[in-house]
Amino acid sequence: MMVNSENSDWDYCPSEILLLIFKYLDNKSLFNCMTVNKRWFCLVSTTARRTGWENMVKFGISDSGASFRKKSKLESRDIIINHCLWQNIEITSAVCQRSYELDDLLNINVYKGALILVGTSNVSYYDIESNALFKTSTGSYADYDENDYMISALQKCDYLKILNLSPKRDPHSYWDDTDSQAFTVPLYKIHDDCCYVTTTDRCLFALKWTEELWDWKLLARHYGHGVIVDINVYQDEVYVMLNWGGLLKVDRVGLKFQPGYCFDIPKYSNPMLYQKYGAIIPVSNDSPFKMKYQDSEHWVLECPGLTCTLEHGDMLMLGYEDGKVEIYEPRKMKCPEPKPILSLNVQQFAKSYDTDNVAVLKLEVSEAELSHDLFIATKSTVYQIKLDHDESIRNCILNECK
């Protein structure tokens, strides 16, 4: 959150000197400077206007802005504004705008202002702003998603996961069976124009569409013990998490995994990876919620009753069996029992007869101008929660980014 610094030597530093210093900072560091106080925010905005808002998004946001681009129609400048607004999410208002009912809900996703509801027999696209149903697709999928480069459809057959990929000629393209490809994968992650997939022999491949065919490129193979349970892309580097807590980084030149870190977690607890710093593990309901810092950077978060996670920019969102949803900013979680910057519960918004159906199945976010939509899915209902910021905060950030 932006604060006004007091009694700091930096208060007396001329703006011209600060601008010279900012010229030598990388975009991630500039992002951090934007949250110091109003004056620094204004000066960094001046630097961003000169170097380009696109570079700020690409090099300043942890996943190169992939999550914001996929979940919004915003331009680069407005993505920066919304990214900064998340730093003040603790003083936002949360109002349930509407709910979507679906008896056989399996999954939800967001793409460019559309909410994608995945049922057992069809996929439905709703316009988030108007609530209008504008596209349906028939098929039995466990998941269905898209970004600017490809459409993915996941089918489950017994213990097998079959991933279907179809390239997009432009952002408005539909599924095309002509160029689609299906293959069995234990795990996959789509990041911008690349789909990362693992194989049963513990290889990691990168798939890209090259105008004529899907190009498979071997990135690395894991020869040690353990199974890859998560894939993450952080600042253009690819990391994988092993089920026993090992973190590996892809060496693209040597086509191998490099040891990254070893998280101290319960044996084979299948951790979820946050950026390259955190391991999140679900534990039994009778266990305490706690955070363990293993060094100055790496931490383990043990969450009783955890059902799902969502990483969006620098934010970490957690969903629970009892309907609770918590939003954290991990860089501020420096205590054994960190407090969320925002906490909600499905029971605040559920109808009286639906209070038993509160376990959170999936979390999603859509970015609108100067606000955010948080989607909380249970097994039969999706709640659309509008997160609105105080007008004074919105005006302050808007004025500095002009």
Query: Average pLDDT of 7-22?
Result: 79
Residue type, 111: Y
Q: Within a domain: residue 31?
A: yes
The count of C-alpha atoms lying within 13 angstroms of the C-alpha of 206, restricted to the half-sphere facing its C-beta, is 18
Number of domains in the chain: 1
pLDDT tens digit string along 243-274?
999 999 999 999 999 999 999 998 778 899 99
Q: Which pLDDT value is given to residue 400?
A: 60
Average per-residue pLDDT for the chain: 89
Phi, psi of 64 (to 5 degrees): 60, 20
Q: Within a domain: residue 49?
A: yes
The edge-to-edge listing of strands for the beta sheet with 256-262 is 228-234, 237-242, 246-251, 256-262
pLDDT tens digit string along 125-136?
999 999 999 999
Query: Average pLDDT of 44-54?
Result: 76
Range(s) of the domain holding residue 19: 9-86
Q: Within a domain: residue 157?
A: no
CA–CA dist 60, 87 (Å, integer): 14
Q: Within a domain: residue 301?
A: no
Q: Within a domain: residue 78?
A: yes
Residue type, 121: S
CA–CA dist 60, 28 (Å, integer): 4
- Radius of gyration over every alpha carbon of the chain, rounded to an integer in angstroms: 21
Q: Give the pTM.
A: 0.90
pLDDT tens digit string along 320-375?
999 999 999 988 887 778 899 999 999 999 876 566 789 999 999 999 999 999 99
pLDDT tens digit string along 109-124?
999 999 999 999 999 9
Q: Within a domain: residue 134?
A: no
Q: Within a domain: residue 113?
A: no
Q: Within a domain: residue 47?
A: yes
CA–CA dist 118, 159 (Å, integer): 20
Residue of 267, 215, 223 lying closest to 244 (CA atoms): 267
